[in-house]
Amino acid sequence: MTGVRNEAVRGGEVRSMSVSELPEPRGLPLVGHVPALARGGVIHRVLHEWCDQHGPTFRIRLGTQTVVVTASPEIIGTVLRERPEKYRRGQAMGRLIAELGAAGLFDAEGDDWRALRKIAMKGLNAGYLRESFGVISRSTGRLREQWSAAAAAGEVVPVLDDLMRYTLEMTVGMTMDHDLDAVRRRGEDGPHRHLPQVLTTLGQRLNSPVPYWRWVRLPGDRRADAAVEEFSALIRDRYVRAKELIAGGKRPGTFLESLAEAERDGGDVTEERVVSAVLNMIIAGEDNIAATTAWAMHYLATHPEVQRLVREEAAEVLGEDAHPADPFVVARLKYAEAVVNETIRLRPTAPYLLLEAMTDTVLADSTMELSVARGTHVMPLLGYRSDSDAQKYPNPGEFDPGRWLAEPAEQAEGAPSFLPFGAGPRFCPGRNLALLEATVFVSMACHNFVIEADTSGGPVGEKLTFVVLPTNLSVRLRSVR
Ligand code: HEM
């Protein structure tokens, strides 16, 4: 946070401003800040730098569109809370998702969103997570077997690739009760190989300055279309089964079954909507959880002492079991959970949101009252300074899971918010599932293996597609059980 801002806070001065009076980093005519943001593929890093230089709230131009970027905790809190009435997600994103045939909860608005949100929350509640734990166990067991074989063969493990299949298998299992068997099918062809193309294409389109795909389909676009088609057929097939089960009196146990129940009860549910809503849920969840577990592997590989502590905890809690047997056991894996929280602090995979004001409104914090016209885009930064705020996190750059087990430090007034799962009525409905899956994974990995970094392919980097993914992340494993 800049000295200028702190001065204003101390003086109690509140400025009334319009968007045109906000500071703006140097941009180019016509394209605005698009080239600067595209630099190095890590948009959020550039935004954080601009925050350091210009203060917590500034404006940028994306082509003809002006966007208010903000790390102000008060403004972020208001904007996230006042949904869906006053702010909606940026329509460009919704349009891109719909074009791929995957419209659903993430991009729905108004009553449509309310109805889907209710169904989704039912499908992801704690009781359901307990009942569906078998899916997590099955996939985790398969990953352990595969990694044991890799360890025995002395192979380098392509972490992100393996974890993409692992988390996709779990997400599909939990969402629609289908076993993709993706973990064991590493080199094989199948839907598990095709679906990630949808996310890749979405990420590329999201960051593309020109919507070329509306005129010409490149090979990647055609592969994405084919993958959606293939997956849609699978969802339709599973939906027939889900409806039979619900008609037979079963309580919904998946998102798909919750949709079947809603259709039975006269809700506005068509097969087309079901297909796209399930795809949407998988897209919203899958890459985030794959990236988070992959980043956790990166930190474990580079912090042997943390591995040792997770291993000691796992030995005590899991004993002879290779991985946690039920969610009550997971609840006792406090240090593994702290590893997950610390990973998310240093590597939040969804670093910002793009929203749009639906009415003329005022964004206020202790320094300013900013008049914002209907249609203005607002970009809340969800993780600004989560890796550098020494007041909130002593030695902030250090990977120190132990900090999550200690008493939380007093939060300074105006300190940046850290909201890796968003907040308000649209906060991430998959948060508990994500934390559960990642904790199970971290504990299993250290309980069974010593993890060593392998940088023969170059140093680990990061890139932003739909989420922030690690690049060049490989490890070698040594079995310890
Ligand atoms: C570490 C993993 C994850 C992270 C960091 C993450 C992060 C986020 C964030 C930042 C949002 C936007 C929240 C907002 O607008 O306030 C979101 C929304 C969403 N997430 Fe997640 N997510 C994760 C895992 C999952 C999983 C596993 C699922 C489902 C299986 C999921 C499903 C969704 C959906 C459907 C939405 C849209 C909710 C709405 O608009 O009402 N996420 N997530």
Both tokens assigned to 388: 């550098």
pLDDT confidence of residue 6: 37
- Spatial separation of the C-alpha atoms in residues 226 and 240, rounded to whole Å: 22
Percent of the chain with pLDDT over 70: 96
Q: Is residue 27 part of a domain?
A: yes
Quick one: which of 434, 450, 453 has its CA closest to 341?
434
Cα 419 to averaged position of ligand 1 atoms, centre (Å): 11
Both tokens assigned to 394: 């002593």
Quick one: which of 353, 181, 183 has its CA closest to 284?
353
Both tokens assigned to 73: 């905790």
Q: Which residue owns the Cα nearest ligand 1 atom 3? A: 288
| Total number of domains in the chain | 1
pLDDT confidence of residue 131: 79
Check if 84 has its Cβ closer than 6 Å to any atom of ligand 1. no
Label residue 109 exposed, middle or buried (CB < 10 Å: 0-12, 13-18, 19+): middle
Domain hosting 83: range is 1-92+351-419
Mutate to test the pocket of ligand 1, among 167, 195, 288, 346 (most ligand atoms within 8 A of CB): 288
Least confident range of 127-131, 169-173, 225-229, 455-459: 127-131
Task: Summarize pLDDT for 278-337 with one digit per residue, the tens.
Answer: 999 998 888 999 999 999 999 999 999 999 999 999 999 999 999 999 999 999 999 999
Check if 378 has its Cβ closer than 6 Å to any atom of ligand 1. no
- The number of the ligand 1 atom at minimal distance from the alpha carbon of 175 is 30
pLDDT confidence of residue 208: 80
Check if 430 has its Cβ closer than 6 Å to any atom of ligand 1. yes
- The number of the ligand 1 atom at minimal distance from the alpha carbon of 117 is 41
Mean pLDDT of the chain: 92
pLDDT confidence of residue 449: 98
Check if 380 has its Cβ closer than 6 Å to any atom of ligand 1. no
Check if 281 has its Cβ closer than 6 Å to any atom of ligand 1. yes
Task: Summarize pLDDT for 192-221 with one digit per residue, the tens.
Answer: 889 888 888 987 887 787 899 999 999 999
- Spatial separation of the C-alpha atoms in residues 399 and 337, rounded to whole Å: 14
Tell me: pLDDT of 4 over 60: no
Q: Is residue 238 part of a domain?
A: no
- Spatial separation of the C-alpha atoms in residues 103 and 342, rounded to whole Å: 32
Q: Is residue 390 part of a domain?
A: yes
Q: Is residue 400 part of a domain?
A: yes
Check if 119 has its Cβ closer than 6 Å to any atom of ligand 1. no
Residue with tokens 């068509």: 270
Check if 422 has its Cβ closer than 6 Å to any atom of ligand 1. yes
Task: Summarize pLDDT for 274-291 with one digit per residue, the tens.
Answer: 999 999 999 888 899 999
Residue with tokens 């069974």: 448
Cα 457 to averaged position of ligand 1 atoms, centre (Å): 31
Mean pLDDT of 109-133: 86
Check if 379 has its Cβ closer than 6 Å to any atom of ligand 1. no
Cα 278 to averaged position of ligand 1 atoms, centre (Å): 14
Both tokens assigned to 250: 């079963």
- The number of the ligand 1 atom at minimal distance from the alpha carbon of 255 is 30
Check if 341 has its Cβ closer than 6 Å to any atom of ligand 1. no
Continuous H helices in 25-158: 34-38, 43-54, 73-81, 91-99, 110-123, 126-131, 133-152
Instruction: For residue 146, give Cα distances in angstroms to 34, 36, 184.
Output: 42, 42, 7
Label residue 343 exposed, middle or buried (CB < 10 Å: 0-12, 13-18, 19+): buried
Q: Is residue 113 part of a domain?
A: no
- Spatial separation of the C-alpha atoms in residues 132 and 49, rounded to whole Å: 42
Q: Which residue owns the Cα nearest ligand 1 atom 25? A: 285
pLDDT confidence of residue 409: 65
Q: Between residues 412 and 67, which one has the greater pLDDT?
A: 67
Check if 306 has its Cβ closer than 6 Å to any atom of ligand 1. no
- The number of the ligand 1 atom at minimal distance from the alpha carbon of 355 is 15
Task: Summarize pLDDT for 386-424 with one digit per residue, the tens.
Answer: 999 998 899 999 999 999 998 776 666 777 789 999 999
Q: Is residue 263 part of a domain?
A: no
pLDDT confidence of residue 476: 97
Tell me: pLDDT of 370 over 50: yes
- Residue 18: which residues within 8 A CB-CB, separation 6 or more? 370, 371
pLDDT confidence of residue 12: 65
Check if 234 has its Cβ closer than 6 Å to any atom of ligand 1. no
Quick one: which of 348, 379, 374 has its CA closest to 361?
374
Q: Is residue 46 part of a domain?
A: yes
Cα 8 to averaged position of ligand 1 atoms, centre (Å): 35
Helices 431-448 and 271-302: crossing angle in degrees, nearest 10, is 40
Tell me: pLDDT of 340 over 80: yes
Mean pLDDT of 126-144: 90
Tell me: pLDDT of 2 over 60: no
Task: Summarize pLDDT for 417-475 with one digit per residue, the tens.
Answer: 899 999 999 999 999 999 999 999 999 999 999 999 999 989 999 988 889 999 999 99
- Spatial separation of the C-alpha atoms in residues 391 and 382, rounded to whole Å: 18
Quick one: which of 135, 95, 401, 160 has its CA closest to 255?
135
Both tokens assigned to 141: 């067991």
Cα 335 to averaged position of ligand 1 atoms, centre (Å): 24
Check if 350 has its Cβ closer than 6 Å to any atom of ligand 1. yes
Check if 284 has its Cβ closer than 6 Å to any atom of ligand 1. yes
Buried b or exposed e, range 145-176, using 16+ CB within 10 angstroms: ebbbebbeeeeebbbbebbbbbbbbbbbbbbb
- Spatial separation of the C-alpha atoms in residues 290 and 374, rounded to whole Å: 36
Tell me: pLDDT of 357 over 60: yes
Tell me: pLDDT of 15 over 50: yes
- Spatial separation of the C-alpha atoms in residues 395 and 433, rounded to whole Å: 29
Classified as helix, coil or strand, 458 is coil
Mutate to test the pocket of ligand 1, among 347, 421, 466 (most ligand atoms within 8 A of CB): 421
Both tokens assigned to 292: 């988070």
Strand order in the sheet with 368-372: 15-18, 368-372, 361-364
- Spatial separation of the C-alpha atoms in residues 361 and 267, rounded to whole Å: 34
Both tokens assigned to 439: 């904790």
- Residue 347: which residues within 8 A CB-CB, separation 6 or more? 291, 292, 295, 462, 468, 470
Percent of the chain with pLDDT over 90: 77
Confidence class of residue 9 from pLDDT cuts 50, 70 and 90? very low
Q: Is residue 97 part of a domain?
A: no
